Chain A
Amino acid sequence: MNFEKLKKACQARGIEEVEVYTRKQSGSNVSTFNGEVDQSQIFEETEFSVRGVYNGHIVAVYTEKDSDDEIEKIADLLVSNGKVIESDDPYFIYGGSEKYPEIKKAENDFESYTQEDKIKLCRDIEAKIREQSSLVANTAVEISVSSSSVSIENTNGLNISRSGDQAVVVPQVFVSNGTTVKTGYDVQFLKNIKDFDMERSLKVALQRPLASIDAGFVNSGSYPVVFENTVAASLLRSFSSLFSAEAVIKKMCLLSGKLGQKVFGENITLVDDPLDERAVYQTSFDDEGVAAFTKTVVENGVLKTYLHNLKTAKMMDAESTGNGFKDRNGNIDVSVSNLYLKTNDVSLDEMIKDIKEGIFITEMQGMHAGLNPVSGQFNLQSSGFKIENGKVTSPITLFIVSGNIVDMLNNVVCISNDFEYSYGVGSGSVYVKALNISGK
């Protein structure tokens, strides 16, 4: 989008400050199902998110069209939407940080794979899964490759961009013994397609459902519970608004008014690190153009900072932590950017060796429904294994784990060193002293 034209159209209507945020994404997906090509898709999309200040209010509009007519229409919309806003919240069209961290951009091999190469890889993966067990009923593999870039340009002098590439390989397996079906999948974010780890997929997507095929039920009661690394990460992700200053302002934050206080057990340290090289994404600035940096959110149980964007920082007399990211509608919200829980130097096997009778949770469902970030309560459909006399034993399914996230993080016994990032949140497996389990 031609920024000069946009600026002119806006200024002609009395819009003082304006910014265009451009996100481009292109790439391809291929998938196979039982050896046959299921989908082959190529995509290219560009989205322009325009924010302008009219009448003392900030307004956001987004479009996928790029034309002179569209620019005029956007400017009109900024004015008409600006007229209905009554909120007096502070706003920012940011002029830029003094300096930005440098993100090393690694070379990758994505271009060297044609669609046909990727289809072949999908089929090879399927074949390797099938040859492992006669109980494999269906297999599917999807490979997606994408490149994306974000640039921000505004009337206060900001003009920056960032970009990244990624490949994701997702093998999916359905196993059946004739009466029971179990499913498994693995998601591998790769810096190079050749780094695909077959052993890992066999373990996660095949051995897990095979081991669970005769799953039984567990008696209701209170048990020591160990959340496997990626499950613990997804629980933390679902409760990440605990640290959001936006949630504090909206009175939707359980940790409101607790800055500097001990909120969790001493063994809990949480860091938000947009530069962490172990994660899939690194980012040098947030969606407002504020430089990204590493911050300790909770240190030994003490809440050190909330996560801020420019608006929440101003309202709470703090500095932005570079966590201003856009929501679906183009408005700036607060989100975590590689949040992780620090681990202890103990392996998973060692950690569980003293548990006499407990539950090892390897899968949880319904995170969008069965937990409430405002109350901290969670009641989640789970499956996993029993822990008996220090060992992971028989598979169990269709039980519910219940608790309150704040109580839980005050009752963590240990976090093992099997650290892994899963969709932007990282954790080892988390051993909690006791939680309620509802089963048979």
Chain B
Amino acid sequence: MAEKLRTSFSGDPAGIEFELKEETAEKTNVNVKRYSCDVPQKEKVEYLNVCYNAIKDYSPLIVQIVCSITDKTQFVTIANTKGQFIHDVRNPQRIALNVIAEHDGRHQSNGSTIGGNISIDEFKNRDLVTFAKNVANSALTMVDADEMVGGVYPVIIHNGFGGVLFHEACGHPLEASSVARGLSVFTGKYGQKIASDVVTAVDDGTVYNEWGSLNIDDEGNKTRKNVLIKDGVLTGYMIDEKNSRLMNMPATGSSRRENYRFSPTSRMTNTYIANGSSTFEEIIAATEYGLFAKELGGGSVNPATGEFNFAVNEGYMVEHGKITTPVRGATLVGNGANALLNIDMVANNQTFGHGMCGASSGSICANVGEPTIRIQNMTVGGNGGKKQ
């Protein structure tokens, strides 16, 4: 196999000489006491039962509850011609809960996750009962909701997983893999104004034991806190070693891959919009007529055009400064570059939500996050319009 690989390169050997220095990564960002691979399955099932029991008799409309725990213990060793020979361990795990509510022939599913780069014992400190009830409540609310009427609205996106919009629409185009090739809407925009003044955004791989945190990235560099946008100005990209050379900018501890099957490239860790100066209540009160997207589902973006889409899993209309009726089936579409300029209010309640992010170097754990934000004039799709 090495021979086959060799034949695909041309030129002479580089002749680099180096000495390997073996070390273990400092556990400053991820420090797990008990690895998942050492935990008996029985113990995991107990936590699942806590979630299940909390909602099994909650409502006759809940017809299905699926609760699962996914964990991974990943032992990483990186050796390279810089002389690094470094070991680290990651231990991401999360509980996922999905429920289905059924009423008058309508079905509504809802799901959420809870976890981090943690040992299983950490679940003792998390309120799994409230977590489970929130998932159930959302499905019960949405099963009777009216369908969203499509059109252009101001959209208030709630904190936590709402940050997936920034992740997709702005995070991916700020990865060096698309910036270096000139494929990103943000190529050549370093130091320029790309967002409204109220927007500061960060990718931070150092948040203690968080879902997207790492001690070292997959090229052996320490992760760090990278400010991507400061008060609306583009101040940083996420850069791996290869693209660092192409862009002539330093690597930022952002190189990641799922496992040995993939080549590492620039990816996100814990990416979030930082807290602003408004409150959640102020944002709602300041909105005459719009959509409050309390929970977003997934979405996707084309990094070259910046065009994105997101599903709203739990949405409500806002009328005269108050949250009113629930709406189902709303989808947000737009252009990342425009959306950033149209954020006009940012609250101070930033939280994280977990995602699995898929790209050329595989599927990795990435946190998204934000406080509640408001975006003016978004196109919202829905099936509640007039029928012919």
Stretch from A303-311, A362-370, A420-428 at the B interface: A362-370
Look across to chain B and name the residue whose beta carbon is closest to the beta carbon of A84: B41
The A-contacting residues of B in range 51-85, CB under 8 angstroms, are: 63-64, 66
A residues near B297, Cβ cutoff 8 Å: 369-370
Question: Are A252 and B309 in contact, with the CB atoms below 8 A?
Answer: no
A436 to B388, CA, bound (A): 9
Residue B381 at the chain A interface, CB threshold 8 Å: yes
Residue B382 at the chain A interface, CB threshold 8 Å: yes
A residues near B276, Cβ cutoff 8 Å: none
Residue A354 at the chain B interface, CB threshold 8 Å: no
Q: Shortest beta-carbon distance, B49 to chain A, in Å? A: 10
Question: Are A181 and B331 in contact, with the CB atoms below 8 A?
Answer: no
Known contacts A80-B41, A366-B300, A398-B334: does B386 contact A222 (CB below 8 Å)?
yes
Q: Mark A249-271, 1 if CB is under 8 A from B, else 0.
A: 01110100000000000000000
Question: Are A366 and B310 in contact, with the CB atoms below 8 A?
Answer: yes
A residues near B4, Cβ cutoff 8 Å: 42
B residues near A43, Cβ cutoff 8 Å: 261
A residues near B333, Cβ cutoff 8 Å: 381, 398-400
Residue A39 at the chain B interface, CB threshold 8 Å: yes
A30 to B4, CA, bound (A): 13
Question: Are A438 and B382 in contact, with the CB atoms below 8 A?
Answer: yes
Residue A437 at the chain B interface, CB threshold 8 Å: yes
Look across to chain B and name the residue whose beta carbon is closest to the beta carbon of A403: B383
Contact size class for B? Answer: 35 or more
Residue A346 at the chain B interface, CB threshold 8 Å: no
Q: Mark B321-334, 1 if CB is under 8 A from A, else 0.
A: 00000001111011
Look across to chain B and name the residue whose beta carbon is closest to the beta carbon of A86: B45
A438 to B155, CA, bound (A): 15
Question: Are A398 and B383 in contact, with the CB atoms below 8 A?
Answer: no
Residue A44 at the chain B interface, CB threshold 8 Å: yes
A33 to B106, CA, bound (A): 48
Q: Shortest beta-carbon distance, B170 to chain A, in Å? A: 16
A residues near B379, Cβ cutoff 8 Å: 398-400, 438-440
Q: Mark A396-440, 1 if CB is under 8 A from B, else 0.
A: 011111111000000000000000000000000000011011111
Residue B249 at the chain A interface, CB threshold 8 Å: no
Question: Are A398 and B307 in contact, with the CB atoms below 8 A?
Answer: yes
A62 to B4, CA, bound (A): 28
Residue A138 at the chain B interface, CB threshold 8 Å: yes
Question: Are B329 and A379 in contact, with the CB atoms below 8 A?
Answer: yes
Residue B182 at the chain A interface, CB threshold 8 Å: yes
Contact size class for A? Answer: 35 or more
Question: Are B108 and A80 in contact, with the CB atoms below 8 A?
Answer: no
Contact of B305 among A81, A182, A252, A380 (CB under 8 A): A182
Question: Are A379 and B304 in contact, with the CB atoms below 8 A?
Answer: no
Question: Are B309 and A369 in contact, with the CB atoms below 8 A?
Answer: yes
Look across to chain A and name the residue whose beta carbon is closest to the beta carbon of B303: A183
The B-contacting residues of A in range 5-53, CB under 8 angstroms, are: 30, 33, 39-45
Question: Are B107 and A369 in contact, with the CB atoms below 8 A?
Answer: no
Question: Are A438 and B41 in contact, with the CB atoms below 8 A?
Answer: no
Look across to chain A and name the residue whose beta carbon is closest to the beta carbon of B150: A438
With a 10 A CB-CB cut-off, give which of A174, A250, A379 has the most chain B CB atoms: A379
Question: Are A379 and B100 in contact, with the CB atoms below 8 A?
Answer: no
Question: Are A365 and B300 in contact, with the CB atoms below 8 A?
Answer: yes
Residue B298 at the chain A interface, CB threshold 8 Å: yes
Known contacts A181-B305, A436-B150: does B383 contact A377 (CB below 8 Å)?
yes
With a 10 A CB-CB cut-off, give which of A221, A252, A369, A404 has the most chain B CB atoms: A369
A182 to B302, CA, bound (A): 9
A287 to B357, CA, bound (A): 28
A122 to B66, CA, bound (A): 46
B residues near A127, Cβ cutoff 8 Å: none
Question: Are B64 and A250 in contact, with the CB atoms below 8 A?
Answer: yes
Known contacts A369-B311, A379-B331, A379-B383: does B261 contact A45 (CB below 8 Å)?
yes
Q: Shortest beta-carbon distance, B322 to chain A, in Å? A: 24
Q: Shortest beta-carbon distance, A315 to chain B, in Å? A: 16
Residue B263 at the chain A interface, CB threshold 8 Å: yes
Question: Are B311 and A379 in contact, with the CB atoms below 8 A?
Answer: yes
B residues near A251, Cβ cutoff 8 Å: 63-64, 100, 102
A residues near B181, Cβ cutoff 8 Å: 33, 138
The A-contacting residues of B in range 333-388, CB under 8 angstroms, are: 333-335, 379-388
Question: Are A80 and B40 in contact, with the CB atoms below 8 A?
Answer: yes
Residue A394 at the chain B interface, CB threshold 8 Å: no
Residue B124 at the chain A interface, CB threshold 8 Å: no
With a 10 A CB-CB cut-off, give which of B151, B310, B381, B384 has the most chain A CB atoms: B381
Residue B183 at the chain A interface, CB threshold 8 Å: yes
A227 to B240, CA, bound (A): 40
Question: Are B311 and A252 in contact, with the CB atoms below 8 A?
Answer: no
Question: Are B311 and A370 in contact, with the CB atoms below 8 A?
Answer: yes
B residues near A221, Cβ cutoff 8 Å: 385-386
A residues near B331, Cβ cutoff 8 Å: 366, 370, 379-381, 400, 402, 438
Residue A294 at the chain B interface, CB threshold 8 Å: no
Look across to chain B and name the residue whose beta carbon is closest to the beta carbon of A174: B304
Question: Are A438 and B381 in contact, with the CB atoms below 8 A?
Answer: yes
A288 to B63, CA, bound (A): 29
A436 to B386, CA, bound (A): 8
Known contacts A381-B331, A402-B382: does B64 contact A369 (CB below 8 Å)?
no
Residue B1 at the chain A interface, CB threshold 8 Å: yes
Known contacts A370-B311, A402-B382: does B182 contact A137 (CB below 8 Å)?
yes
A residues in contact (CB < 8 Å) with B: 30, 33, 39-45, 80-81, 83-84, 115-116, 137-138, 174, 180-183, 220-222, 250-252, 254, 365-366, 368-370, 372, 374-377, 379-381, 383, 397-404, 433-434, 436-440
Between A and B, 8 residue pairs with Cβ closer than 8 Å are: A33-B181, A81-B41, A84-B45, A252-B64, A366-B311, A375-B106, A377-B147, A433-B388
What are the 8 tightest A-B residue pairs by CB atom distance, in nearest-first order?
Answer: A400-B381, A438-B150, A381-B309, A369-B298, A379-B331, A402-B383, A438-B381, A366-B309
